[in-house]
Amino acid sequence: MNGQASTAQVAQNMVAKIAREQLGFTEMGIYNYNVASDSPDKLSGRLDGIIAGLSVDDVVILQSPTWNGARFEHLLLDRIKAYRNVKVIVFIHDVVPWMNADASGELTNYIKLYNRCDLVISPNQKMTNRLRECGLMVTKVINQEFWDHPVAVDSTKVAPFAKRVTFIGLGSTKPLIENWDSEQVKLVLTTDKQPMAADKNIEFMGYQYDYNLLGRLRQQGGFGLLWNALPIWREYMQYNTSYKLSTYLAAGLPVITSPNIAQREVIEAKKLGLFVNSVDEAVRQIENMTSAEYQEMRAGVEEFAHLIRNGYFTKRILTEAIFNLFY
């Protein structure tokens, strides 16, 4: 996908790159744009261009959403299914109606889209269960569990124990800044400096390109915070698979997140971080933490991050999806 400057685009392009370069897939490029600006003829030509390389008996993996709307994805699927014996796997990255109240009426259309496919790659089992409750009927469903974040790191260095919490992104920074009052634990934000943070124990890193960001996180240590103050997003984070989670782990940082996260069992079993019900609780735990406790989590993260840094979740899920289509 192109046309965005977003984590969604980064995730889709990462999957496409691994599929293309390591598994021999051919990419079908999709551009995110204002679909309503197209005339019927122009839209038809655009769809023909997307599927120009398609042949009979092919397998297509549709990464959804395209962010062009459910109607666009149905029309694209119509074109794909016009080819004889083509099988379609839908790889669900996000369910838009659960992220945005304004799009809640589109849920039925997305469920119908998924049900037209031969196999579904779902973010995780909690998401699969919720989709089933909403009408998902496809028999073959497999779960992604974690995103990859391919990156080369200096394995001779590890994240140091530091009483600092890094929050990546722009969302939910205002309530974090307003409520941060710890003198022992530093909050680190990847935004420009904001006046409301004056005299607070807050560091502003500014925007960082991916490689620089992961290098700085690994060098400075501490924890990565996966959090959102907006009610709709706090609800959604119980079901989605967060790319940001894997960014922290790829950098070698233990994570701080809600106990309701879909990946709780793995995070708990592999000792990848802390579960808290509030940011204040996280601060208290870090204030009282020992170096030995941090090192235990860091060791768990370093072991697990080998999978994320080398693209193994993506390679596994794509290979397993193809295998299950024909097995």
Residues annotated within a binding site = 7, 173, 242-247
Q: Cα Rg for the chain, rounded, in angstroms? A: 21
Question: What gap in Å lies between CA 85 and CA 307, rounded to an integer?
Answer: 34
User: What is the Cα–Cα distance from 67 to 54, expressed in whole angstroms?
Assistant: 22
Q: Assign 167 to helix, strand or coil.
A: strand
Long-range contacts of 227-235 (CB under 8 A, 24+ apart): 227/167, 227/172, 227/176, 227/256, 227/257, 227/258, 227/279, 228/171, 228/172, 229/172, 229/175, 229/176, 230/171, 230/172, 232/98, 232/99, 232/100, 232/101, 233/99, 233/171, 233/172, 234/258, 235/98
Give the burial class of 249: count Cβ atoms within 10 A of its Cβ; 0-12 exposed, 13-18 middle, 19 or more buried: buried
CB 85, CB 63: distance < 8 Å: no
Q: What single DSSP character describes residue 289?
A: -
Annotated binding site for UDP: 7, 173, 242-247
CA terminus-to-terminus distance, the chain? 30
DSSP string, 245-264: HHHHHHHT--EEE-TT-TTH
